[in-house]
């Protein structure tokens, strides 16, 4: 009672104590947040969503335990794991029958992003992001800030090489990483084609997906627009995973050296083009045709100077806007804290902040605001751009000169 004043209103001391308790809870939430990530990874590794999906209706706990070969001694632990995953919105639980045994069902999130049996050559993104190869470097992020030899990213400090060098000499991780990103690409490709496909891709003669990874995006565009000749350009060990995609050509090379002209791609469609042959193909570029380069999650890997180099290489090979040339970039456009609408507090804005810090650990990357993008576009010689938000999190940017 002593902390109330005579009107029954909590005194300063009581308010401060309540705030401290809230703050303590908040801190715990931040500290233990990685448990959500790891519980999700565990669910994906066990294949919980696949088993529920195959069952086609809410799955009683006992059946789930049997199907997943969970040891009887782990029953209680498994139920607690499921309780957290239900709380996170990945599954729902209900009780059915006289014994009131819990039964679990998929939510739209797990049905769309965790069921692997529906997606060939893809695995949930969580396998790429939470692979120990990606997680271990976080333990030296603080050291990276002060390391005198200034390694490009904490990843390089921890592994002694860059992410893309490591994918080149660790085949298992190369597959894991590219399959994880493929699943995300597949989702985005569907969205783009539904929301703005006609406006963006209709009438294009050729398109090259620069840093196109698994080729999922290029394949979806090629399937939706069969008259557009599509190709994926990426590092040799990445395009090597692309064998067997009949509608998309694969080209190995280094985008810092040059970006292949799309018309050269058409000549060699359906083969992995030997990089050595490409200079000869320059001789027969038809600069009058509508050529487009597309890049998803490529520029966010690099500093401003490198982005300008990549974009200048693209600009060299496309005709001006009136002749149908453009570069399409699918990336985040960060909302900034001082933007008027206050939306920095919503979940999308928080995810953007997390992803911006996330990307500095595997690569020397960053997420950019519109003003930051604009100065890169101008430095690379482009004169206009449009931004179409396709998801809360990211946008489709079209660049012209
Ligand atoms: C983050 S991944 C994005 C992959 C794909 N665009 C997607 O959205 O899933 C970046 C891609 O850039 C490729 N890359 C990195 N350095 C490159 C280079 N110098 N030349 C060509 N591609 C490169 C990587 O191999 C990788 O596939
Ligand atoms: O580890 C990653 C993850 C991504 C990523 C995350 C979420 C998405 O919806 C898409 C992609 O992107 C990465 C990336 O571009 C990179 O260069 C390194 C690592 C990752």
- For residues 104 and 181, membership in a common domain is answered with no
Question: From CA 280, how far away is CA 257, in angstroms rounded?
Answer: 15
Atom 2 of ligand 2: nearest residue by CA position: 129
To the nearest whole percent, how much of the chain has pLDDT over 70? Answer: 88
Q: Does residue 3 belong to any structural domain of this protein?
A: no
Atom of ligand 1 nearest to the CA of 167: 25
Residue 130, ligand 2, Cβ within 6 A: no
For residues 401 and 321, the answer to whether their CB atoms sit within 8 Å is yes
* Whether residue 175 is found in the same domain as residue 266: yes
CATH number at residue 86: 1.10.10.10
Whether residues 180 and 268 fall in one domain = yes
Q: What backbone phi and psi angles, to 5 degrees, belong to 368?
A: -125, 150
| pLDDT score at 283 | 31
Closest CA to 133 of 152, 151, 155: 155
Q: Which bin fits 133, alpha (ψ -120 to 50), beta or left (φ > 0)?
A: alpha
- Check whether residue 249 and residue 383 sit in a common domain: yes
> And the tokens for 193?
């084609």
Which of 88, 113, 138 is where one domain is finished?
113
User: With a 6 A CB cut-off, is 255 part of the ligand 1 pocket?
Assistant: yes
Is the shortest distance between the CB of 128 and ligand 2 below 6 Å? yes
226 shares a domain with 309:
yes
Residues with catalytic function:
300
CA distance 119 to 113: 10
Residue with CA nearest ligand 1 atom 24? 211
More confident residue, 382 or 270: 382
Dist. CA 345–CA 371, nearest whole Å: 21
Atom of ligand 2 nearest to the CA of 394: 9
Q: What angle do CA 223, 228, 230 make, to 5 degrees?
A: 75
Whether residue 13 is contained in a domain is answered as no
Q: Separation of 371 CA from ligand 2 center, angstroms? A: 22
Residues 210 and 278 in one domain: yes
Structure confidence at residue 2 as a pLDDT band (50, 70, 90): low
Residue ending a domain, choose from 90, 113, 136 = 113
Q: Please state, in angstroms and rounded to a whole number, the distance separating the CA atoms of residues 173 and 169.
A: 9
Cα 158 to Cα 37, 162, 285: the distances in Å are: 22, 10, 43
Whose C-alpha lies nearest to ligand 1, atom 27? 213
In the structure, what pLDDT confidence band is assigned to residue 330 with cuts at 50, 70 and 90?
very high
Mean pLDDT of 71-98: 94
Using the structure block, give the residue that is written with the tokens 């992020």: 141
Residue of 128, 129, 164 to mutate, ligand 1, most atoms within 8 A of C-beta: 164
Residue nearest to atom 14 of ligand 1 (CA): 211
Residue 183 within any structural domain of the chain = yes
Does the CB atom of residue 318 touch ligand 1 within 6 A? no
Average pLDDT over residues 80-93: 98
Classify residue 71: in a domain, yes or no: yes
Is residue 106 located within the same domain as residue 181? no
Complex ipTM: 0.95
Percentage of the chain beyond pLDDT 90 is: 67
Residue 380, pLDDT above cutoff 80 = yes
- Ligand closest to the CA atom of residue 394: 2
Q: Determine, yes or no, domain membership for 180.
A: yes
182 in Cβ contact with 216 (< 8 Å): yes
Residue 80 domain-assigned (yes or no): yes
Q: Are strands 91-96 and 101-106 parallel, antiparallel or unpaired?
A: antiparallel
pLDDT digits (tens, 9 = 90+) for 222-267: 999 999 999 999 999 999 888 777 889 999 999 999 898 765 444 3
pLDDT tens-digit series, residues 122-155:
888 999 999 999 999 999 999 999 999 999 999 9
**Tens-digit pLDDT profile for residues 46-68:** 999 999 999 999 999 999 999 99
Secondary structure in 3-state letters for 37-80 = HHHHHHHHHHCHHHHHHHHCCCEEHHHHHHHCCCCHHHHHHHHH
Question: How many angstroms does the Cα of residue 362 sit away from the middle of ligand 2?
Answer: 9
Confidence of residue 10 (pLDDT cuts 50, 70, 90): confident
Judge whether residue 82 has pLDDT over 80. Answer: yes
State whether residue 29 is helix, strand or coil. Answer: helix
Residue 16 domain-assigned (yes or no): no
Domain that holds residue 80: 34-113
Give the span between the Cα atoms of 56 and 54, in whole angstroms: 5
Instruction: Tell me: do 205 and 94 sit in the same domain.
Output: no
- Residue 1, pLDDT score: 47
Q: Are 301 and 382 in a shared domain?
A: yes
Q: Where are the beta strands (DSSP E) in 254-391?
A: 272-273, 291-296, 326-331, 333-334, 368-369, 384-389
Cα distances from 156 to residues 113, 127, 138, in angstroms, run 30, 20, 11
Instruction: Clarify whether residues 372 and 251 are in a common domain.
Output: yes
Please write the tens of the pLDDT for every residue from 284-315.
Answer: 334 446 889 999 999 999 999 999 999 999 99
Say yes or no to pLDDT of 171 above 80. yes
Instruction: Tell me if 213 CB under 6 Å of ligand 1.
Output: yes
Q: How far is CA 57 from CA 54, 78, 86, 246, 347, in A?
A: 8, 20, 16, 37, 31
Q: Is 293 in the pocket of ligand 1 (CB under 6 A)?
A: no
Domain end call among 86, 113, 140: 113
| 181 within ligand 1 shell (Cβ under 6 A) | yes
- Binned at pLDDT 50, 70 and 90, residue 18 comes out as confident
Ligand 1 atom with minimal separation from the 209 CA: 6
pLDDT at residue number 111: 94
Residue 391 falls inside a structural domain:
yes
Residues 96 and 192 in one domain: no
- Above 90 in pLDDT, residue 15? no
Could you give phi then psi for residue 228, rounded to 5 degrees?
-90, 125
- The backbone torsions φ and ψ at residue 294, rounded to the nearest 5 degrees and listed phi first, read -125, 140
Top mutation candidate among 187, 213, 293 for ligand 1, by most atoms within 8 Å of CB: 213
Q: Sorting pLDDT into bands at 50, 70 and 90, what band is 14?
A: confident
User: Do 205 and 76 lie in a common domain?
Assistant: no
Number of domains the chain is built from: 2
């Amino acid at each position: 009672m002593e902390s109330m004043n005579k009107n029954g209103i909590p005194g300063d001391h009581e308010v401060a104590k309540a705030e401290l308790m809230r703050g303590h809870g908040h801190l715990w939430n931040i500290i233990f947040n990685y448990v959500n990530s790891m519980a999700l990874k565990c669910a994906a590794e066990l294949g919980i969503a696949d088993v529920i999906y195959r069952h086609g209706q809410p799955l009683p706990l006992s059946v789930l335990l049997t199907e997943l070969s969970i040891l009887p001694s782990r029953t209680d632990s498994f139920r607690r794991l499921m309780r957290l995953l239900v709380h996170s919105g990945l599954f729902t639980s209900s009780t059915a029958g006289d014994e009131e045994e819990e039964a679990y069902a998929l939510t739209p999130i797990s049905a769309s992003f965790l069921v692997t049996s529906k997606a060939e050559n893809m695995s949930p993104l969580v396998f790429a992001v939470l692979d120990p190869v990606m997680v271990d470097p976080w333990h030296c992020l603080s050291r990276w800030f002060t390391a005198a030899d200034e390694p490009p990213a904490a990843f390089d400090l921890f592994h002694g090489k860059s992410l893309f060098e490591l994918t080149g000499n660790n085949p298992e991780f190369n597959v894991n990483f590219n399959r994880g990103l493929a699943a995300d690409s597949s989702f985005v490709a569907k969205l783009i084609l539904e929301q703005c496909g006609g406006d963006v891709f209709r009438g294009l003669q050729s398109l090259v997906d620069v840093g196109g990874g698994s080729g999922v995006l290029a394949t979806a565009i090629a399937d939706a627009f069969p008259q557009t000749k599509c190709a994926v350009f990426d590092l040799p060990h990445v395009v090597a995973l692309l064998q067997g995609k009949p509608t998309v050509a694969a080209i190995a090379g280094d985008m810092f050296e040059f970006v292949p002209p799309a018309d050269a791609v058409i000549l060699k469609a359906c083969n992995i083009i030997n990089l050595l042959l490409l200079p000869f193909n320059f001789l027969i570029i038809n600069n009058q045709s509508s050529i487009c380069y597309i890049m998803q999650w490529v520029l966010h890997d690099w500093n401003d100077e490198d982005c300008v180099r990549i974009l200048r290489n693209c600009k060299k090979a496309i005709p001006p806007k009136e002749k149908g040339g453009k570069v399409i970039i699918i990336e985040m456009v960060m909302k900034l804290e001082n933007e008027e609408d206050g939306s920095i507090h919503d979940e999308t804005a928080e995810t953007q902040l997390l992803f911006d810090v996330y990307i500095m650990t595997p690569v020397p990357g960053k997420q950019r605001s519109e003003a930051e993008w604009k100065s890169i576009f101008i430095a690379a010689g482009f004169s206009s751009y449009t931004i179409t938000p396709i998801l809360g999190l990211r946008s489709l940017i079209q660049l012209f000169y």
